[in-house]
Amino acid sequence: MNKAKINAIFQIFSDNNPHPKTELESVNNYTLLVAVVLSAQATDVGVNKATRGLFKVADTPEKMLKLGEDGLKSYIKTIGLFNAKAKNVIALSKKLVEEYNSEVPEDFEKLKSLPGVGVKTANVVLNCAFGHPTIAVDTHVFRVSNRIGLVKTKTADATGDKLLKVIPKEWQMHAHHWLILHGRYICKARKPECYRCPIIALCEYDKKVLQK
Ligand code: SF4
């Protein structure tokens, strides 16, 4: 896809939603990190339902450790893979207390060294908590970017790298959210709603769905 088209797509995303935000609820950088860890293979809505109660009692690593793994599980048992996620949240809280003065580090490698934190989570935290222009690739970002012709990639990691190359700097800060929201609400996996899509004239997908 040429640069003019890419610019036009992000200009439309920006005009429609100038300040896109994560739909995950949090009250500080630590709870954002926990929410992102809990959101793997779960919906933001489902995670928010669980964390509203949880973050009232545990909004710091110390309080999470005090709550303990079983206490934590009682809040998040409606979220998929909650046993493994509880273990990771407790382990990462311990590491934050012991190695990072209870602060979430503003560093990709340090974030990635935390239990349960992979490339995607580290990039989401750097972007949402610290304002770094990273592009975390989840299922929506991967699908939408390839479908509309921004990139042609086979893996999430390759997609993130390529997106950073093709998306002009001015759009990189919010590109992750715009692509997620577009994929979540319009360019849906099974049946994209092309008939109401604001970027239909620019999209290169050849199987557009033009009727409801
Ligand atoms: S036109 Fe259809 S396939 Fe293209 S971005 Fe819009 S919803 Fe997705």
Whether residue 120 lies in the annotated active site: yes
Tell me, using a 6 A CB cutoff, whether residue 197 lines ligand 1.
yes
Residue 33: pLDDT above 90? yes
Q: Is 25 in a helix, a strand, or coil?
A: coil
Q: Which numbered atom of ligand 1 lies nearest the CA of 204? A: 4
* CATH, residue 45: 1.10.340.30
Tell me, using a 6 A CB cutoff, whether residue 200 lines ligand 1.
yes
For residue 165 the two structure tokens come to: 């190359």
Quick: pLDDT tens for 92-110.
999 999 999 999 999 999 9
In-domain check, residue 23: no
Total domain count, the chain:
1
Domain that holds residue 35: 29-130
In-domain check, residue 104: yes
In-domain check, residue 143: no
Contact 24, 181 (CB under 8 A): no
In-domain check, residue 95: yes
Query: What residues contact 74, with CB distance under 8 A and at least 6 apart?
Result: none
CA of 184 to the centre of ligand 1 (A): 12
Q: How many CB atoms lie within 10 A of CB 37?
A: 21
In-domain check, residue 76: yes
Tell me, using a 6 A CB cutoff, whether residue 12 lines ligand 1.
no
What is the model's pTM? 0.88
pLDDT of residue 30: 98
In-domain check, residue 159: no
In-domain check, residue 112: yes
